[in-house]
Chain A
């Protein structure tokens, strides 16, 4: 930049004599950096305010065609999620609350016995989306298997896919 500015300085000794006119020198001095800086500042402020650095990912939930796939309980493992204030939601299976380690062991056992079974997660009505997402991601990571979201009343299942 410095060099460029140096290069732009009037170098009268290099110019032909007819170009050494007073008007030309005045015009050269009139070209100033200030408007350029103004524009660059405005652009900078615009990009600072308008750009975002958060990266978005997603959890895929594929909805079955009719949307009313009824849940056939013998083939599925039903898992209720209770709202809790902890970092992870607590899980309830068949009316009984389990500690997370015990629950994961139990579910893994069930999956080993019946590989065709799906894990269904039935969220409590007032469970916040953040906790639901935490629960889904936790179960999918622990079980290495897709966890479906069960819809309460009417009992419908939608499939969530784990993206790798």
Chain B
């Protein structure tokens, strides 16, 4: 039986081409399908709810840990700093991203604090469930 001549040795770079193709596809998928997550100063797991209203970017987002620690724009804020920030920017709409295990007495305290500093529209951020 005649064995055909072996093909000439292919270049190394050609062997990785399928890999590069897959990596390119993955890259494009993650670039298009994902949105860059905003950095947060501490770990948060917001409550889940099946509501339709999708948050609009651009409003001031305030993070609130379950121990009542405030954060905004990747910084931990004290209550005084938070009040200064709110009054300085004349903020009227706040997105509150609070931990799911936050006790409601702390939430009520924060709502009272925000309302006293001129916030009229508060959005409690929830993670969308299907």
> Given contacts A47-B31, A129-B104, is CB(A57)–CB(B53) below 8 Å?
yes
Of A50, A58, A152, most buried by chain B (CB within 10 Å of CB) is: A58
The answer to whether A134 and B49 touch across the interface, beta carbons within 8 angstroms, is yes
The answer to whether B23 and A57 touch across the interface, beta carbons within 8 angstroms, is no
Residue interface bits B23-56, CB-to-A below 8 A is 1, else 0: 1101100110111110000000011111111110
The answer to whether A58 and B53 touch across the interface, beta carbons within 8 angstroms, is yes
The answer to whether A56 and B100 touch across the interface, beta carbons within 8 angstroms, is no
The count of chain B contact residues (Cβ–Cβ below 8 Å) is 54
The answer to whether A58 and B120 touch across the interface, beta carbons within 8 angstroms, is no
29 interchain pairs, CB-CB under 8 A: A1-B20, A1-B21, A33-B16, A33-B17, A33-B20, A37-B23, A40-B27, A44-B27, A51-B33, A52-B37, A56-B46, A56-B55, A56-B128, A57-B54, A58-B53, A58-B54, A58-B95, A58-B124, A60-B124, A61-B122, A61-B123, A63-B121, A63-B122, A67-B116, A126-B104, A127-B104, A128-B102, A128-B103, A137-B51
Interface band, chain A: 35 or more
Asked whether any CB of chain B lies closer than 8 Å to the CB of A147, the reply is no
The answer to whether A130 and B101 touch across the interface, beta carbons within 8 angstroms, is yes
The answer to whether A59 and B126 touch across the interface, beta carbons within 8 angstroms, is yes
> Given contacts A51-B35, A52-B37, A57-B55, is CB(A126)–CB(B123) below 8 Å?
no
Cα of A64 to Cα of B126 in the assembled complex, Å: 22
Task: Among A58, A63, A123, point to the contact of B119 (Cβ < 8 A).
Answer: A63
Residue interface bits B68-109, CB-to-A below 8 A is 1, else 0: 000000000000000000000000000100111111110110
Cα of A164 to Cα of B52 in the assembled complex, Å: 6
Tell me whether chain A's interface is mostly helix, strand or loop, or mixed. mixed
Which 7 A-B pairs rank lowest in CB-CB distance, beginning with the nearest?
A: A51-B34, A67-B115, A163-B53, A123-B104, A52-B37, A130-B100, A58-B123
The answer to whether B20 and A137 touch across the interface, beta carbons within 8 angstroms, is no
Contacts of A33 in B (CB 8 A): 13, 16-17, 20
Residue interface bits A6-50, CB-to-B below 8 A is 1, else 0: 000000000000000000000000001110110011011001101
Cα of A156 to Cα of B16 in the assembled complex, Å: 66
Tell me whether chain B's interface is mostly helix, strand or loop, or mixed. mixed
Cα of A158 to Cα of B113 in the assembled complex, Å: 13
Which single residue of chain B is at the shortest CB-CB distance from A125?
Answer: B105
Asked whether any CB of chain A lies closer than 8 Å to the CB of B60, the reply is no
Asked whether any CB of chain B lies closer than 8 Å to the CB of A96, the reply is no
Cα of A51 to Cα of B119 in the assembled complex, Å: 30
Of A34, A41, A129, A164, most buried by chain B (CB within 10 Å of CB) is: A129
Contacts of B19 in A (CB 8 A): 37
The answer to whether A58 and B55 touch across the interface, beta carbons within 8 angstroms, is yes
